[in-house]
Structure 1
Amino acid sequence: MSGRWTKCSWLLALAIPCAAQAQVDLTGLDRDMAGPRAQVLVLGSVHLGQLPAAPAPGSLDPLLDRLAAFGPEIITIEAIPGEECDLVARHPTVYGADYCPSTDAARAATGLDVPAAIAEVNRTLKHWPAQPTSAQRRRLASRFLAASDRASALVQWLQLPEGERRTGDGLDDALVAMLEGFTTRADESYQIGARLAARLDLPRVYAVDNHTGDNTDVEDVQAFGQAVQQAWDAGKAELSALQAQEHALAQRTDLLPLYRYINRPDNLEMLADLNAGTAMRAQSAQGYPQIWVAGWEIRNLRMVANIRATFRERPGARVLSIVGVSHKPWFDSWLGQLQGVEIVDAEQVLE
């Protein structure tokens, strides 16, 4: 009898680690959630500045109409937050020097460095009136510029009457010229994010990009880049076909079909494989392509966390995240795993 029990105990001991490795299913924790779930729409975008030609005036209006109908209360963009810009500036040996646009002009006009400007922006928005004056908008725009939040500054600028888009209240000639330049710059953060936020009378957009985890530390940077590019070359023909169709659609006077095309699930699946799948399959003595994917995943994870933070105190919020289309599969997957979050079908919104 003793031998039998010893054998059974030994078998049980072997089974326990297997049971301990079983994953806990978190997907149903919000099944009985009190209150509405957050609705998150991830819009995959081309980088407008990388198109062969700048979008024609009004070509984004049909897209903006569809997004406005969704009614986002929070809009996030693929831009680096001022907090990260300040962090990087304090650690040049870790991140390098060429990272964020200079805020020197805004600091000269306002007397505020990035941390002080962020603090003033936060204080201002806590008591932001329903009907702000033009002076209040100009002042907040200047603080956003000092906080390295250019798109939010443009949101305030666009909500000013034409005659009130002038110097004063922290805006000098240099900052006014900067804001006027943003109104026509081919950048989705401005032409989609900021314009839509202004149209919906939102006070700001939220920058959520992050590069603190993909500053890869390898001995031979050139060899690293070559190895990753060689991995991507395995899907070069498919990528070229995808980009050719994008460029053809980008020449139209209505860019809504372009956004429908790039947000199609079949194209997103192909793009995800061309981006990360080819790298994971590539042979490399140093594992360079796989190292790149690790940095890509860290970047996306931190961006998703930044998005989550924008509606942390707002359960049930309607959120629009505008991001380069390569990120969308990761955003949809990881945001969809969060408690109390429901991913909105971009195809349905755009149709």
Structure 2
Amino acid sequence: MIRRIGSMFILGLCSASALAAGPGYRPTFHPEQLKGPPAGRPNHVLVLGSPHLSALPDSFAPAQLEPLLGRLAAWKPEAIAVEAVSGLQCDFMRRHPARYADSVGSYCVDTGPAQAATGLDVPAANAEAERLLAAWPATPSAAQRRRLAAVWLAAGERNSALVQWLRLPIGQRIAADGLSEQLVAYLDKRLQRRDESVLVAATLAARLGLERVWAVDDHTADSPTPKALEKAAGEAIAKAWDNPYTRARAAADIPLHADLGKPDGLLAIYRAYNAADAALQAYHSDFGAALVEPSPQGFGRGYVGYWETRNLRMVANIRDVLGQAPGMRMLAIVGASHKPYYEAYLNQMHDLQLVDADDVLR
């Protein structure tokens, strides 16, 4: 993340007096105070701040997610959004390698094998997936599910492909209908990943009878740090992060990780990460600390600019999905540090009501 702040360092040229200035002009228009009511069902969004499961101790096992999955299923979301970059955005970033080569390598799947199997590039596969879903039968055949899984892979939507794979009986998870042996092996291997997009989102979507998940992450604000500034930028941000709030958050994780083996051990982590006081703790340890770090280049301010831009675009992607079918219940699963920004920005939307995660996770 640090390496992507470099192009923003010019923000540091702003004067220190400007940073210390008062609040200045305040607009009189407050969209968050102008909520509906809509003519039909409201849009409800439950933001679930998640640990990255890949970072949990070795004592983590997928079965520990069952208490969480049961509570989320009982809430009955009709759409699930995940912290993943869409195939269409990856296709865009691949066309701009000077800026996004690192991001493509980190966040985008190689769609070459699926394109070879289906004959579809990323834009064509996305269009084909939408065409298939528009005429999707109530009881699709195994062949139709395999075909849609192959198309989702070609579209760069691997988590949606997994939803179709999970909805197939194990005996029907075979190489056919556009799925090559290589793609089957890829799907089977991905099912074993310690990834909340797989073990929570795709798993829950399949259980609820959904046909896809929505990739709403955004990395178009990424940019490489100039080589000459990498060391200084890294040191400035690391120094900002070395603070009592960061240490307190790390200390709070120790007993939570130690209790993973208990029946509700992982649920306790989710409850803690979604608690009301977690938002300010995350801010003070990370973004608030970076905002005031004193480097002349304004490395911290550049990082915060990247972070705010990313979250704004992620929320815009969520709002786009909600606008396609008003009256939706959406579960938005995202890394816990994103949750307060998601909720703050989503709350500004006229036709959207937030759901308290604490009520769902009890």
With normalisation by structure 1, the TM-score equals 0.90
The yes-or-no answer on 1:335 pairing with 2:343 is no
Contact 1:215 1:295 in 2 (8 A): no
The yes-or-no answer on 1:230 pairing with 2:235 is no
> How far off is 1:266 after superposition?
1.3
Larger RCO (CA under 8 A, 6+ residues apart): 2
Percentage of matched positions with identical amino acids? 47
The yes-or-no answer on 1:166 pairing with 2:174 is yes
Structure 1 runs not aligned, ≥5 long:
1-19
> Counterpart of 1:146?
154
The yes-or-no answer on 1:177 pairing with 2:182 is no
Amino acid at match of 1:74: A
Determine helix, strand or coil for the equivalent of 1:96.
helix
> Counterpart of 2:48?
43
| Residues 40-60 of structure 1, C-alpha deviations (whole Å, 9 max, x = no match) | 000010101111226324111
CA change 1:106–1:332 in 2 (3 A) is same
Amino acid at match of 2:113: A
Q: Pairwise mapping of residues 95-106 of structure 1 onto structure 2 (< 5 A)?
A: 95-97=100-102, 98-99=105-106, 100-106=108-114
Contact 1:56 1:253 in 2 (8 A): no
Cα-Cα RMSD: 1.8
Taking the aligned partners of 1:221 and 1:240, their CA distance within structure 2 comes to: 26
The yes-or-no answer on 1:67 pairing with 2:66 is no
> How far off is 1:313 after superposition?
2.1
Contact 2:160 2:212 in 1 (8 A): yes
> Counterpart of 2:120?
112
The yes-or-no answer on 1:321 pairing with 2:326 is no
State which of 16, 35, 38 in structure 2 corresponds to 1:33: 38
> Counterpart of 1:156?
164
Contact 1:157 1:179 in 2 (8 A): yes
Determine helix, strand or coil for the equivalent of 1:337.
coil
Q: Pairwise mapping of residues 167-316 of structure 1 onto structure 2 (< 5 A)?
A: 167-215=175-223, 218=226, 220-234=229-243, 235-254=245-264, 255-316=266-327
> How far off is 1:230 after superposition?
0.9
Determine helix, strand or coil for the equivalent of 2:138.
coil
Amino acid at match of 1:220: L
> Counterpart of 1:128?
136
Contact 1:249 1:258 in 2 (8 A): no
> Counterpart of 1:4?
none
Q: Where in structure 1 do 4 or more consecutive aligned residues deviate above 4 Å?
A: 216-219
CA change 1:277–1:216 in 2 (3 A) is farther
Single out whichever of 92-101 and 28-37 deviates more from structure 2: 28-37
Taking the aligned partners of 1:222 and 1:275, their CA distance within structure 2 comes to: 19
> How far off is 1:112 after superposition?
1.5
| Residues 224-246 of structure 1, C-alpha deviations (whole Å, 9 max, x = no match) | 12211111112432232133244
> Counterpart of 2:83?
78
| Residues 172-209 of structure 1, C-alpha deviations (whole Å, 9 max, x = no match) | 11111111112221000000000000001100000011
Amino acid at match of 1:116: A
Contact 1:58 1:253 in 2 (8 A): no
Single out whichever of 283-292 and 254-263 deviates more from structure 2: 254-263
Taking the aligned partners of 2:169 and 2:26, their CA distance within structure 1 comes to: 61
Single out whichever of 31-40 and 189-198 deviates more from structure 2: 31-40
Taking the aligned partners of 1:310 and 1:77, their CA distance within structure 2 comes to: 12
With normalisation by structure 2, the TM-score equals 0.88
Contact 2:100 2:222 in 1 (8 A): no
> Counterpart of 1:7?
none
Taking the aligned partners of 2:306 and 2:120, their CA distance within structure 1 comes to: 33
Taking the aligned partners of 1:32 and 1:43, their CA distance within structure 2 comes to: 24
Taking the aligned partners of 2:173 and 2:307, their CA distance within structure 1 comes to: 40
Taking the aligned partners of 1:325 and 1:241, their CA distance within structure 2 comes to: 16
> Counterpart of 2:57?
52
Determine helix, strand or coil for the equivalent of 1:207.
strand
Taking the aligned partners of 2:113 and 2:261, their CA distance within structure 1 comes to: 36
Taking the aligned partners of 1:245 and 1:294, their CA distance within structure 2 comes to: 34
Taking the aligned partners of 2:281 and 2:174, their CA distance within structure 1 comes to: 47
Amino acid at match of 1:331: Y
CA change 1:260–1:169 in 2 (3 A) is same
> How far off is 1:21 after superposition?
6.2
> How far off is 1:153 after superposition?
0.4
> How far off is 1:95 after superposition?
1.3
Structure 2 runs not aligned, ≥5 long:
1-24
Contact 2:240 2:286 in 1 (8 A): no
